[in-house]
Amino acid sequence: MRRLYSTLILLALVLSCGTLAAQNNNITPVPVRFLGGTCSDSGCMPAMPFDFSQLTSLYIKGAKGADRERLVASVEAAGLDLKLIKRPKTVACLNIWINPESMPFDEGYAVVTSEHNVDITARSAAGAFYALQTVRQMVESGEWLTGAIADYPRFEYRGVLIDISRHFRTLDFLKRQIDMMARLKLNRLHLHLTDAAGWRLQIDSYPRLTSYAAWRTPHDWKSWWQGGRKHVEEGSEGASGGYLTKDEARELVAYAADRYITIIPEIEMPGHSDEVLAAYPELKCTNNPEHQGDLCIGKEATFEMMQAILDEVIEIFPSEYIHIGGDEAGKNNWELCEDCQRRMREEGLASVDELQSYMIHRIERYLNARGRQIIGWDEILQGGLAPNATVMSWRGEEGGILAAEAGHKVVMSPHGYCYIDAPQDAPYSQPESIGGYLPLCKVYSYDPAPATMPESVARYILGVQANLWAEFIVEDDHYEHMLWPRAIAIAEIGWSQPEAKSYDEFRERAIRIVDSMIAEGYTPFDLKNEIGNRPESLTDVEHLALGKPVTYLHPSRYYAPQYEAAGDATLTDGKRGTWTYADKRWQGFLGRGGVDVIVDLEQLTTIRSITADFMQICGPGVFMPCLVEIAVSTDGENYTKIADIEHEVVLDELPSFKAFGWQGEVEARYIRYKAHRSKHSGFLFVDEIIVR
């Protein structure tokens, strides 16, 4: 007890005055406090190198049963071959003390390395497990100094979503990701089990969910989506897919629990349910187009099915939360469905939003009665949020803030920072993906609860989650490439205090982790060879039209409000676009007229070139123009066309960027720049009209 008492005294000292030391910059996520040197009742000594190979014994106090076994296994995973002993030692021993009174943080811990010993103090077995992940990183770094670390997570929820619906992943693959998550102190695995592309969990009461809705042809989602979206019977020629049996799901749950990770299952409702309706078409709305993706809320059989499914789900997954989706329901069929309209009349519902809310409320009551809570995407706010629901905010932060203001718990997962299905480097260098650009630095910059957020809101922010959707990710190695290292950034966001973070230091640590992952057979993105952002975007451009007024012709053809960038100033503000149209630099046009603007140079000017850049990313419907017209005028009334640039729009797999312009010499004050949309429709995105 004297040894534990001394450790607690040192812990208090570190928490009050310790700081991170550069020479111990090997721990990810970065800890809260570090105090270099060795301290005891008699005083403190300067920091000295510590050799983990001198340890021979392991003592554990306060952990029993499964927790004790998990800690022993974690010590072995850290590369330490230690003999378990019954009494603590002060020499050559790793002592683990678990004491609920040791610190105020549930998952917090302290690691003290003296000259010949290591002492771990934690409030819980989970905290001791996280301490051992820190020790593992110490051992692997090979460069550790004596001292003390006091550490605890900023947020209780630190998660990753893995989508196994669009492309099924095996049990072994999921275990590999759990192993890496645990080493980084991530503690929630959100498993996206159901979606249009495939149902991935055995359900005994509705067997066609896996004998039919789990299989399709062809294998890759993109071809399947564009080719009719047909499911096939299990065992059919060319059938591709799969599912977790109940035994496999239980095995995965136990495997994650041994690493203090909770698996949260997602059963989508009422939208994203095409595969359910393919297997059980009687649950479609009464108006019956070929494809329906929303469950019929008017049919009582829909609730009987969902409740029976949830009964089987909660038998497998002990998670407090069951994710019920709730996003992107089209709702169009509900307006025309006799059953849905009858339900609305009977329940006094004024809109289809309220009809969805009726379902969410009813499912929440059902799960609450069985000791579980619901969590759903922020669309569950529409029509009124269920009383005890937790919101996962993905369309931005607004939904999460609204839910928190109403007293609901929130997990922040905004697509601009946390949707890691976008390429993380120059798109031309990356495998095909949904489009856009989300580099590690932007992910790392996210703060789920910044200092500017009112405390009344911040107190309800449970944490943060990265989401990796798999529409375009067919192979396992591609999935790991997209997941890591961006999930490392999410781990540090969720665990570390904002003042302890530095992207430059983090990137160095992430490179080391990536290198070690590659050595272990993982396939992460090779961070050290990162190309980086679009070169044109790195510095503002000087040109003759900089800051000059732009007139947008024909109000119905204005830029799309969600992609307005800097508004009317965008095309002459000197800001070039990055690799993504969502950077508030590219301006998006969706109207039939495309781009049609006049730039006023405000005086007669000798012009030698006029150019503007466009992008093409076919997945989200962003295309090059098929024709660009450029005309000039001296008086703003009479224009002379100086360029007709025709372009054949080819549907390339990879994103591309192209300048459309004119060169020559002309005197003019006004420039009319007009870009026409191609037969493929979609968006036109332009960043700057450069005049020289």
Determine the Cα–Cα distance for residues 386 and 364; give it in Å rounded to an integer: 7
Determine the Cα–Cα distance for residues 410 and 403; give it in Å rounded to an integer: 7
Predicted local distance difference test score (pLDDT) of residue 22: 40
- Total domains, the chain: 3
Predicted local distance difference test score (pLDDT) of residue 298: 98
Identify the domain boundary among 102, 131, 151. 151
User: Which residue from 335, 249, 244 is spatially nearest to 287, judged by alpha carbons?
Assistant: 335
Query: Residue 588 forms beta bridges with which residues?
Result: 685
- For 75, list phi and psi in degrees, rounded to 5: -65, -45
Residues with pLDDT less than 50, the chain: 1-2, 5, 9, 19-23
CATH number (domain holding residue 656): 2.60.120.260
Predicted local distance difference test score (pLDDT) of residue 655: 86
Same domain, residue pair 629 and 569:
yes
What 3 state SS string does 175-227 have?
A: HHHHHHHHHCCCCEEEEECEECCEECECCCCCCHHHHCCCEECCCCHHHHHHC
User: Which residue from 153, 155, 159 is spatially nearest to 189, judged by alpha carbons?
Assistant: 159
Same domain, residue pair 461 and 575:
no
Helix (H) or strand (E) holding 35: strand 33-36
Count Cα neighbours of 116 within 13 Å in the Cβ-side half-sphere.
6
Q: What is the pTM of this model?
A: 0.94
Identify the domain boundary among 529, 558, 578. 529
Determine the Cα–Cα distance for residues 518 and 521; give it in Å rounded to an integer: 5
Determine the Cα–Cα distance for residues 614 and 427; give it in Å rounded to an integer: 15
Identify the domain boundary among 529, 553, 575. 529
Three-class SS of residue 3?
A: helix
Same domain, residue pair 368 and 427:
yes
- Cα–Cα distances in angstroms (integers) from residue 196 to residues 233, 270, 620, in the given order: 15, 12, 18
Same domain, residue pair 503 and 544:
no
Q: What b-and-e string marks burial along 202-240, b requiring 16 or more CB atoms within 10 Å of the CB?
A: bbeebebbbbbbbbbbeebbeebeeeebebbebeeeebb
Predicted local distance difference test score (pLDDT) of residue 446: 98
Same domain, residue pair 459 and 571:
no
Same domain, residue pair 144 and 234:
no
Determine the Cα–Cα distance for residues 170 and 188; give it in Å rounded to an integer: 19
Predicted local distance difference test score (pLDDT) of residue 214: 98
Predicted local distance difference test score (pLDDT) of residue 38: 65
CATH number (domain holding residue 86): 3.30.379.10
Same domain, residue pair 73 and 175:
no
Helix (H) or strand (E) holding 139: helix 125-141
Determine the Cα–Cα distance for residues 562 and 605; give it in Å rounded to an integer: 34
CATH number (domain holding residue 233): 3.20.20.80
Same domain, residue pair 123 and 272:
no
Same domain, residue pair 131 and 203:
no
Same domain, residue pair 269 and 403:
yes
Predicted local distance difference test score (pLDDT) of residue 8: 54
Radius of gyration of the chain (CA): 29
Determine the Cα–Cα distance for residues 230 and 211; give it in Å rounded to an integer: 14
Residues noted as catalytic: 195, 272, 328
10 Å CB burial of residue 554 (0-12, 13-18, 19+) is: exposed
User: Which tokens hold the place of 491?
Assistant: 């781990």
pLDDT tens track for 299-319: 999 999 999 999 999 999 999
User: Which tokens hold the place of 227?
Assistant: 């080719």
Predicted local distance difference test score (pLDDT) of residue 297: 98
What residues have CB less than 8 Å from 546, skipping those under 6 apart? 572, 573, 574
Same domain, residue pair 146 and 241:
no
| Structural domain boundaries, residue 21 | 2-151
10 Å CB burial of residue 561 (0-12, 13-18, 19+) is: exposed
Same domain, residue pair 609 and 672:
yes
